Chains A and B, each alone.
Chain A
Amino acid sequence: QQQVKQSPQSLIVQKGGISIINCAYENTAFDYFPWYQQFPGKGPALLIAIRPDVSEKKEGRFTISFNKSAKQFSLHIMDSQPGDSATYFCAASMSGGGADGLTFGKGTHLIIQP
């Protein structure tokens, strides 16, 4: 049973555009929702994270929107740049994500065209 569903699988956006990646979860016990960015040949790295007590979190060009009632959250990348080309994973966990493992979505391969 896939607990975190991510879409789309791949995404092509023009430079300067907005990239949007969506995730939906099933387990209402999840209380921590991070997004990880992965470049080829590297391990994933935390990009931004949110807890369900807020509906939006913004860090620079990256914003997470969270809809608790719909059990959905999304990543928005504003003014997308070629350097943002990477694979993005949404994830979810219970107990803050420190002590327990993360449940990941299947990933979105993002390409920003110059």
Chain B
Amino acid sequence: DAEITQSPRHKITETGRQVTLACHQTWNHNNMFWYRQDLGHGLRLIHYSYGVQDTNKGEVSDGYSVSRSNTEDLPLTLESAASSQTSVYFCASSESGRASETQYFGPGTRLLVL
């Protein structure tokens, strides 16, 4: 079955370290998204991509970067982790265009920055 996976599921790191969270989908979806979820804030969009070599900033992109070298993967990098980036991170994907609007979410990565 097609799916979207994230790794690691849990991560503890120290302030200032670079961290990369992986996201892999097997639906062959062109669109991929990264959100963070914080209590009292819901989910907020970090970055998104329409396809290979395309990346766009979302609402809370400062301190984060993404790259899209193939259809299946959109890794999220925290350049220099800060305590404010402690959060649960969700990756999502969707088909192109308006024909299918559903975003399918991965299981999440819980990140703690000490």
Contact = CB atoms under 8 A, between A and B. Distances in A.
Interface residues of A, number: 25
Given A43-B90, A89-B42, A107-B42, A98 B105 contact: no
Given A41-B108, A89-B42, A98-B103, 19 more contacts: A32-B101, A44-B43, A46-B102, A49-B101, A49-B102, A89-B43, A96-B97, A96-B101, A97-B103, A98-B97, A98-B98, A98-B99, A99-B50, A99-B94, A99-B96, A102-B43, A102-B45, A102-B103, A106-B42
Nearest to B95: A98
A105 B48 contact: no
Contacts of A36: 105
Q: Is the interface of B mostly helix, strand, loop or mixed?
A: loop
B41 to A, nearest CB: 6
A98 B107 contact: no
Nearest to B29: A98
Interface string B40-56: 11111100101000000
9 contacts: A41-B108, A43-B105, A49-B102, A89-B42, A98-B31, A99-B31, A104-B42, A106-B41, A106-B42
